[in-house]
Amino acid sequence: MPKIKAVMTDYIGTLTTARRYTMEASITKLHKALVDAGFQTEKEEFLTAYSKAHEKYRLIRYGELREITNAVWVSETLCDLGHQVRVDHEKLRFALDVFFEDYIGTLQLRPYVKRFLKKASENCKLGLISNFTYAPVVHKSMQRLGIADYFDVVIVSQECGWRKPHSKIFQDALERLKCKAEETVFLGDCPLEDIKGAIDAGLKTVFVQSQFYGMDDLKASRLKPQVIAKDLKEVYANFAEITNM
C-alpha cells in the first residue's frame, strides 16, 4: 500500500499557465462594467483610487496572510469616489465577473495534467489549494478546463480567509480530506507559498518548475523538498515513488 494517502496541488503555475494576459485591459473592462452598472466615474480618477485601495489591501494580504477579495477594494474605490456600495452588491459581483473573463480565457493546462490527475485520483484522495482573491475564477476555470471532477476538495484562499503559506489553509484541506499531514504530499511551484507552507504544516513536498518559478528561486529559498521535478510529465512518471516516500 502507498504511504501517501492524499495528494494536494497548487493551481496557477503548477497545473496551469496564463498566456497573453494583460491586467490593464481587464481593469479597463472593470471600469466600463461599473459605469454601465450606474457607478459613474472618470477612468483616470477610478484607476488612481483603485491603485491606492489595491495596494492597501495587498500589504495586508501578503503581510498578515489574510485573504481579502477584490470586492473589498473595488467597493472602497467606489466609496472614495462618492458612491455608496456594499461589498456584496450584485452589480459589483457582475463587474468582477467581467473583470476576470479574459484571465479565465488565458488559462491553459500544462502538459500531462489530466494524466497526472487521473492517476492521482485513482490512487489517493486529491485536493487543490489556490491563493486567489476571487474564488469563482478558480471554480469556473477548472470546469472550463475539464479537471474539476478529479478533485475531492478544492480550497480557494478567498473562501478560507487565509493565504498560503499560512498553515490554516493547509490544515483546512487536511481536515476536509480526513488525512494526516504525514500521509500527504503537496505539489507546488512557489518556494514560499507552496513548499515552505506545506513543510511548515508537516506535509511532504514536490517542487515543480513553472513559468513563474525555476531552480534559481528554489535555491535562493534554501528549502529542501523531497522531490524536485522539471514538469508534470516527470511527476507522472515517478508517481509510484512519490506516493511511497
Amino acid at 127: G
E strand residue ranges, 47-149: 107-109, 125-130
pLDDT of residue 1: 52
Q: What is the pLDDT of residues 226-236, one digit of tens each?
A: 999 999 999 99
Query: Which parts of the chain have pLDDT scores under 50?
Result: none
DSSP 23-52: HHHHHHHHHHHHHHTT----HHHHHHHHHH
Cα–Cα dist 67/226, whole Å: 28
How many angstroms separate the CA atoms of 245 and 240, rounded? Answer: 9
Q: If one looks up domain 6-17+108-242 in CATH, what number appears?
A: 3.40.50.1000
Q: Enter the pTM of the model.
A: 0.94
SS3 240: helix
Evaluate whether 126 touches 152 at the Cβ level (below 8 Å): yes
Residue 22 has a pLDDT of 84
The amino acid at residue 9 is: T
pLDDT at 19: 85
Between CA 14 and CA 187 the distance in angstroms is 7
